[in-house]
Amino acid sequence: MGGKILFDLSSLNQMQLDAIREIGNIGAGHAATAISEMLGCTVEIDIPKAELVSIYNLDSYYDDPRAGYAAVFASSDNDKPFNFMFLIREADVSKIVSMLVAKQFGMEMDASSMPQDMVESALGETGNILLGSFLNSVNGLLGISSGITTPSVTHDTLASILSVVSAMFGQYGDIALVTKTQLNVMPAGQTQGQSESIDANILMASEPDALEMLLMKLGVI
């Protein structure tokens, strides 16, 4: 007897994609509020995207595949997990870590002078707050109370990092559904145009079973 037929990502219609974008909007709003409080600064979010992308083109969808990035991975801990990734350019890692240290310890410190394990810990904490807040909004929509796994931090080229997402979706086909939400972090006391903002992305890459459950709860399937 054959196994369960997996939900076909390529069959998603416009209404379902719009519903997923709205989830991204709600989740990003929660995440922006949490990181704003954590860093003591203004955080703005761009309109989320939810798109079907070939797993073979996933790296070039975001940026130069050769660019250096840091990523924090985490998943929900239920039996139909949602997978999340906080993605930030390597050049911006020191900025966000320095802001976190300044807020939590009341001292200015250049991240380049910090021990690497301290930088990793700060990145992991940032990702945990962001991704946990995003997951809480999904939990609210589903009426469940799943937690988030311990985040893992990695540094590599964008192509190598996103190959993890490609490999995950490769189990189900050659199409990935990726929700992309950009957060613009503005240091305290500065306004748009006075300083360079920090661009970071939150990705939600749902496995077919988890996505089907979510769309059923939203009444669009």
Give pLDDT tens digits for 43-89.
888 887 878 788 888 877 778 889 999 999 999 998 878 888 899 99
User: Residue length, the chain?
Assistant: 221
Query: Of all residues in the chain, what percent carry a pLDDT higher than 90?
Result: 15
DSSP structure string for 88-102: EEHHHHHHHHHHHHH
Domains of the chain, earliest start first: 10-217 (3.40.1550.10)
Q: Rounded to an integer, what distance in angstroms lies between the CA atom of residue 75 and that of residue 84?
A: 6
DSSP states of the chain as a string?
Answer: ---PPPP-GGG--HHHHHHHHHHHHHHHHHHHHHHHHHHTSEEEEPPPEEEEEETTSHHHHHS-TTSEEEEEEEEBSSSS-EEEEEEEEHHHHHHHHHHHHHHHHS----GGGS-HHHHHHHHHHHHHHHHHHHHHHHHHHHT----BPPPEEEEEEHHHHHHHHHHHHHTT-SEEEEEEEEEEEE-TT--BTTBPPEEEEEEEEE-HHHHHHHHHHTT--
Task: Quote the pTM value.
Answer: 0.83
Contact yes or no for 181/88 (Cβ under 8 A):
no
Express each pLDDT in 149-168 by its tens digit: 999 999 999 999 988 888 87
Closest by alpha carbon to 162, among 83, 46, 81, 48? Answer: 83
pLDDT in tens, 162-220: 888 888 778 777 877 777 888 888 876 655 554 457 778 888 877 788 888 888 888 88
